[in-house]
Structure formats: C-alpha cells, structure tokens
Amino acid sequence: MTQILSQGFLPFEHEPYSNFSDETVAQKQRAAFDEVRRRYVGQTFPLFIGGQEVEGEGTFTVTNPATGEALWHFQNVTPEQRDAAVAAAKSAFESWQHSDPFQRASIFKRAAQLLRARRAEFNAVMTLENGKNWAEADGEVAESVDHFEVFARETLRWAEGKPVYPMPDEHVTMHYEPLGVVVTISPWNFPSAIPLGMGLGALAAGNTVVWKPASETPLSSWLMIELLFEAGLPRNTIQFLTGSDEVLGDALVDHKDVRMIAFTGSREIGCRIYERAAKVQPGQKWLKRVMAEMGGKDATVVCADADLDAAALGIAQAAFGYSGQKCSACSRAIVEDSVYDEVLEKVLAHARKLRAGLPEDNADYGPVIHQGSAERIRSYLDAGKQSARLLLGGDFEAGSPVVPPTIFGEVESSDPLFQEEIFGPVLTFTRARDWQHAIELANDSDYGLTGSFYSLDPAKIAEARRRFHVGNLYVNRKCTGAMSGTHAFGGYGMSGTNAKVGGPDYLFWFLQTKTTAQKY
C-alpha cells in the first residue's frame, strides 16, 4: 500500500527564488519587515513542553546584529523543565512511532504550502535575527520549502523497507524502525533550514524531537515549529527549549533517555558531543547515535585551462556571501601559478564592488553575527598581516560588527589562515605548481566539506572527482548553494559524520533495521 502511495506526489521541483528586481516582489518584502516589527518586536515567546506553552525562569533578549536593536524575548529553561521535556518526548514516541507514514508526509506537504504563503515574513525575521540580506534569507527559506517536499517523499520511500534475497520456505522482510528521542542542536547561521532538516529527518522516521535552537536566532525556529503544528503535527512530538548552554548542553547529551543527538556547529562542540555521547549512562539501554556537521575550510582549485571569469565570480560569491559565515564558504583559492595573478585580479575586482549596509536594506554585506565573532576574526587578520600579503580589507572600526571582504595573497599551506576555520569574509590565495599540486594543497586540511574545481579538461576533472577529498565537490561552479534533494550535503574528516542532509540515505541515520523471517 505504501509503495503505491509514495508514487502519488507530483515530481519534485525546487522552489524558485524570489525575484527582488521585480518592484512588486521587493515592495512585498519591504512591507514584511514592517509587519514583523508590528507583530513580534517586544513580544515574549514560550517554550513548548508536552504540547503546552510554558514559561521558564526569566527571559533573554534577541538583538539585531546590524543595529543592536532589541527584538524579542525567549525563555530560560530550568533543569527540571529540560528533564520534563525529555520525558514528554519519550512518552510521545510511544504513539508517534506507529503513526501512518502517509499522514507524516501529508503534514510536511501542508507545511510547505503554509511556508510558501508566509515566505516574505520568514525572510524578514531571519534578516533581523542574523543579518542575512534578502537574497541569502530567501534562499534559505526556499531551501526549507524544499526540505518539506523532499522529506515528504523520503518518509514514504523509507517506509517501504528494502527487498532481500528470498528463502524457499520463509517469508523474509527487512524494514526500518525509529530510534526514540532525538535532540537537535542547531547554529545561528542557517536558523531555518539546518534545524528543520535535522528535525524533519527525526520526525519523518517516526522519532520525537527535543529542539534546541541557537540563542541568537530562536524566532526563526519557533515560527517553523508553529507552522508544523498548524499543518497538523501533534504538538507533543516536538519539545522546544531555549536558554543557557549550562542547562541545555552536556545534560541533554548525557541524558539516559536520549537516543540520538543531531548537531550542527563548531568542531570543538561537535567533538565534545561525540565524546560524551559515547559514555553509557546508568539506566541507558543503547549506544547513542551522533550525527554531526562541524564546519569546513573549503578550497576552490583553478586550473590554467579553466574559464577564469567564471572561476573568479564563483570564488567571490562563495567567499563573501553572508560575510563568509557559511560552513561551505570558499576560504582558500588555490590557483595554478601561470594564471594566479589574473584570477587574483578578477576576484579583487568583484570584491571591491561589494558595498556594506543594513541587511534590511538588502546591502551586499552587513555585520558578522556579534562583536565576539568580529574580534576573533580580527585576531586572524592581525596575525595574517605578518605571515602573508594583505591585498584587500584587513581593517575595520573597533567595536564594529562589520568586517569588510578581506583577501590575503601568497599564503603558505602551513599558515593558520590556510588551515583554520575563520568563519568570516576572509579569503586566502595560494600558488600551485600545477593542477595536481593544487589538489594536494586542497586536501591539506583537517576538514573536507565542500570544494570547487575549475577546468575544461575532462581528464583533469575525472582525476579531481577521484582525488579531491570532500563530501560535496562542485565542478565549474561555486562551492556554496547546495539544493535539498539534489546536492546531498555533508562532509569528511573533521567536517563531521558525512550524514547527507537532503539526500536519499539521510533518513537511515534516524532509523534502525529489523529483519523478520516467518517460516511457511
């Protein structure tokens, strides 16, 4: 029956991006900012525990990173409420694990329709919370629509099970069952698409979720959960918790009733979660599963025979979009020596055209997420001025969260600029003797998330496909902009566990396999 139902949806198509050059579309987006301010600024939002809206112990304020404006307020959960949330998720799992996969898929389809209708609103909330301009926010909300559509289809596909080789005297099936309570811990830079992808993976498989958003961007998550409830998701299947890391960090990871942790964030925290989750707690009846995405140090290789204009544009877009605050951002340009100077000048020309301003006004770039991030980036810039050749940027006003596009040339592979994730608009240029040396340099990293390879030579491309050690390799295009359902996203090495969100095997991370043999 499920096999028939899974064929009932129309073929998947990616949600198109909004055309903000159309004044009607642009005006709708401007009006959405006014409406968001009218409806949400100054409001206090609750926790969701056991299907109920709950107040915590005091609140914290979310601010606009571009202006410092106080936006809205969220609860500080208590340790008792945290444990009650895990207990509620465990209780809800008893029924949700047996829910009809078609009904789960139908909820996701309805949620996609609801999100399409509120797209400008969600764009505006995200821009105010984390400083994305219109295009960056809209791209993420479009990805969230795609997630709903993709996971609706994947829910049904995985419910079908897999065929096995038959026995002459037995009926044998292999199917998949959910795990239990899944904790999702998400970052501020993609506050809609990343937690939604992890949360939908859990829910689609029949698990329940304890959803912890980043404290910088909780409304982007809260509205998404409300939208799921409106679409028909039972309110006890998601527990929404905000507050301090002291309450929501180690204790959630260690909790004996948590079956899995899905995490996206820093290498430091990801490794800590991986280590702590490996310890079996008293009363725990399983080995916890950890899915982690921990960033990147992504390289673009440019061969001498490449389309240099396309390569330069791709490098600039991937390096400086959203001020480089993407795990997939290009932070290393590795260029064959014979075209190094030409590519560098082309990238510099693109970067010099970028203009700072308010994200709400759709400026090319705005602030990094907060002052602490700006100061951390500044420390890399100060050190880089001593070890490499500063070509653009490198300075910004003390106390300002706006970091201009910065480019260093003649960067050695041993330099921290080359090796360490800076998470800002900082791009390094490194010379390669030849295209093979360029691949070696690209692989000289603890990380392995995304990479780009520009060449028109089929033999070189074939070699790059074999040797370029990343989870997402893009040939003759930029290394950012993965599309759910098409570019299954996840990396190697210290970039994480290679769980490929938006891909055909992602739900397996949230499932366990059961084989049943019945003798005739």
Q: Is residue 264 a contact partner of residue 198, using CB atoms and an 8 Å limit?
A: yes
Mean pLDDT of 147-165: 96
Q: Tokens for 448? A: 């392995």
What residues contact residue 114 under an 8 Å CB cut-off, 6+ apart?
A: 227, 230, 231
Whether 50 shows a pLDDT value over 80: the answer reads yes
Extended beta strands in 308-370, E state: 330-336
Architecture of domain 298-484: 3-Layer(aba) Sandwich (3.40)
Residue 8 has a pLDDT of: 77
Cα–Cα dist 231/106, whole Å: 9
Catalytic residue among 216, 293, 336, 421: 293
What is the rounded average pLDDT for all residues in the chain?
A: 97
Of 9-13, 298-302, 410-414, the least confident: 9-13
Q: Is residue 336 a contact partner of residue 435, using CB atoms and an 8 Å limit?
A: yes
Residue 334 has a pLDDT of: 98
Q: Tokens for 352? A: 């010099």
Give the closest residue to 143 by CA, choosing from 123, 163, 121.
123
Instruction: Work out the percent of the chain whose per-residue pLDDT is above 90.
Output: 97
Architecture of domain 78-294+498-519: 3-Layer(aba) Sandwich (3.40)
Give the closest residue to 252 by CA, choosing from 186, 205, 190.
186
Cα–Cα dist 348/63, whole Å: 33
Q: Is residue 487 a contact partner of residue 143, using CB atoms and an 8 Å limit?
A: no
293 in active site: yes
How does residue 7 score in pLDDT terms, banded at 50, 70 and 90? low
Q: What are the beta bridge partners of residue 298?
A: 330
Pairing state of beta strands 492-493 and 447-448?
antiparallel
Cα–Cα dist 319/13, whole Å: 28
> What are the domain boundaries of the chain?
78-294+498-519, 298-484
Cα–Cα dist 235/224, whole Å: 13
**Taking each helix axis from N to C terminus, what angle separates 101-117 and 193-204, rounded to the nearest 10 degrees?**
160
**Taking each helix axis from N to C terminus, what angle separates 308-320 and 340-352, rounded to the nearest 10 degrees?**
50
Give the closest residue to 466 by CA, choosing from 443, 489, 486.
443
Edge to edge, what strands does the sheet with 298-302 contain? 389-392, 406-409, 426-432, 330-336, 298-302, 450-454, 472-475
Mean pLDDT of 200-226: 98
State the pTM of this model.
Answer: 0.96
Q: Model confidence over 367-391: pLDDT tens digits?
A: 999 999 999 999 999 999 999 999 9
What residues contact residue 108 under an 8 Å CB cut-off, 6+ apart?
A: 148, 149, 151, 152, 155, 200, 204, 231
Residue 396 has a pLDDT of: 85
Cα–Cα dist 242/218, whole Å: 8
Q: Model confidence over 56-105: pLDDT tens digits?
A: 999 999 999 999 999 999 999 999 999 999 999 999 999 999 999 999 99
Mean pLDDT of 264-280: 97
CA atoms within 13 A on the CB side of 114: 17
Cα–Cα dist 40/36, whole Å: 6
Q: Tokens for 34? A: 């006014």
Cα–Cα dist 18/145, whole Å: 13
